[in-house]
A = this chain, B = another copy of it.
């Protein structure tokens, strides 16, 4: 159900012929109101795809009536023609649904540097509009998949209102750049001025804390749409908690389906001076290829963790660092701790805990191991 679990939303996912495989490749999500509040966050990559440029502008006034999403092409680095194609896509949706194009968000995912097959795409918009329905969430979630092996959906129900969402992408591990796309919907009655803060609070501790391979996309887009159709008002804290839960489940699903990954790795940095330090240290470990290869080999090579910590500007003394891997404290006070042979890395989930002994802040960042299959999938994609 995902994006159609909340009242006031219809969705569809169809095969428009953008993907050569013939799989579903075009999704439409429509907010039938009565409210049309929206908030959005986008990639911070300065080389942003045409649909990001378009949707950023469309979301500025806090209103989005419909979202059209395609897989099979990122429409990034496609110049003026690429932007015209995005514009034409929004216009087509507006025409068929009797909306204003400025209230239509556009999302694309796939290979960078190629124009979209617009004839197929525009014809798909019509088919998708015909197929729109309150049960269309699953088809829409399927239509935005690229190398995802499963569709990602999540629903949280509260007393009288619901939050649902769908996502595509394999962290940043997906081919030709992840292009993580997420649409979250709710039928709660909300203060439109609060929606942006709710979404930013949720993404800051979920999508911003997964990092499969350190490669930032040109297309990342996360949209939160509120229809108010339940007629039940949600307070800000309650809505933030529910949206965060949906985003966390979707983020965890992205890591679990990351290309080629054999391990999901939670890196918990504790006793940091502040949250910024904790994040810097966690991300440095999450991006260390040598450590990620070691985990693939079921090797608790904690020296690679310490060397990654050492490259940061966080507050710590090297002689006070503790590192535990799956509960075994292999590094104590910057030196050899418990016997590394006691660490069991055969399971899918790995937990690395680093204590900086510099304060009370803590964060957890999720990443994946670096595997043969990651190299294989990402060396043979566009050719």
Contacts and interface: CB of A to CB of B under 8 A. Distances in A.
Contact of A372 (B311, B331, B376): B376
A77 B296 CA distance: 23
Contacts of A115: 336
A289 B112 contact: no
A62 B141 CA distance: 65
B303 A77 contact: yes
A370 interface: yes
Task: Kindly name the residue among A176, A311, A333, A370 whose own CB sees the greatest number of chain B CB atoms within 10 A.
Answer: A311
A313 B150 CA distance: 36
Nearest to A316: B46
Contacts of A309: 46-47
A217 interface: yes
B307 A216 contact: yes
B336 A301 contact: no
Contacts of A216: 307, 310-311
A308 B77 contact: no
A321 B79 CA distance: 11
Contacts of A134: none
A378 B215 contact: no
A375 to B, nearest CB: 5
Task: Kindly name the residue among A81, A287, A307, A375 whose own CB sees the greatest number of chain B CB atoms within 10 A.
Answer: A307
A149 interface: no
A375 B296 CA distance: 8
Where chain A touches its partner, the secondary structure class is loop
Contacts of A379: 293-294, 296-297, 299
A214 interface: yes
Given A76-B303, A114-B336, A303-B176, A215 B288 contact: yes
A306 interface: yes
Given A301-B381, A333-B79, A379-B297, A289 B214 contact: yes
Interface string A360-383: 000000000011101110111111
A177 interface: yes
Given A302-B113, A303-B112, A77 B213 contact: no
Interface residues of A, number: 69
Contacts of A48: 310, 318
B77 A306 contact: yes
B302 A46 contact: no
Given A213-B290, A289-B214, A335 B297 contact: no
Contacts of A297: 378-381, 383
A319 interface: yes
Nearest to A174: B290
Contact of A177 (B44, B307, B380): B307
A44 to B, nearest CB: 8
Contacts of A303: 74, 76-77, 111-113, 176-177, 218
Interface string A258-302: 000000000000000000000000000001111001101111011
A102 interface: no
Contacts of A340: 113
A78 interface: yes
B47 A299 contact: no
Given A77-B302, A177-B307, 19 more contacts: A46-B309, A46-B312, A47-B321, A48-B310, A76-B306, A76-B307, A77-B306, A77-B331, A77-B336, A79-B335, A112-B302, A213-B290, A214-B287, A215-B307, A217-B307, A218-B303, A294-B382, A299-B379, A301-B382
9 contacts: A46-B309, A46-B312, A48-B318, A112-B302, A112-B306, A175-B290, A289-B378, A299-B379, A299-B380
